Structure 1
């Protein structure tokens, strides 16, 4: 994660095993830093973290600290947990993979409810004989339901951004 694009300071240029957050040297510095730092809402640890940083590192036992809607730190689990011992919530992900949201740049939200109506035909038959007639009879409510279902499926699949190629407007 390139947190500089998220409105945070750039990632540390230190060795890959260090946490993004710089730790204070003394107890006084630590207390001052904790007083000035945002509340860490959650630390997700014990995960495979696909960082997407400049080196495309993958942390095998990594953690992500989150403050509000921002990533506060990314690094090895032990370092992030030590940096934020007072996180509101600490979640052990049991080795699951954490990666940035996926982007789907070609989705037809109005066709979500039409799955299976044309699995057995060629493209031109599908277009002229199936999908265009189907879409031409859709109501606004049909289109809304199809778009809602499509959105749920996209989110459950890890998609955080999409572009709909919908001619009937939703």
Structure 2
């Protein structure tokens, strides 16, 4: 029995199998998912060969302290922004032994949304040491906190595979 829906478990299994065969390690930087991406990966037996570390940076201070997100970026763009996601993924990659990293920051709700940044808005970024850098702005809609977080995990796992090439 898994903690995660079958499709997420299968995505995670594919990553663990593929990355193990290729000798790649992963790091995660998570805000709105609170560690669920790392949790999905570590649900798979053998994940210790792939998962280097995960950063759960729920507060702005944690994003700055642990990932090197700048105060200027947070002030100018906010925690839920492309710019913050890009700095988060860069910090996760270069503060780890990983070959590929993924970062997510968003508004899972039910509160906290605004006209500009509604509930369900999530910025994701993935980066490889080989230079591939991805960003996606997802607007999942106000589908409920759990569904927003699980949708974010699905997208993040897809982006890890894409960034790894």
TM over 0.5: no
Larger radius of gyration: 1
TM-score normalised by the chain length of structure 1: 0.22
By percentage of residues, which structure has more strand? 1
TM-score normalised by the chain length of structure 2: 0.23
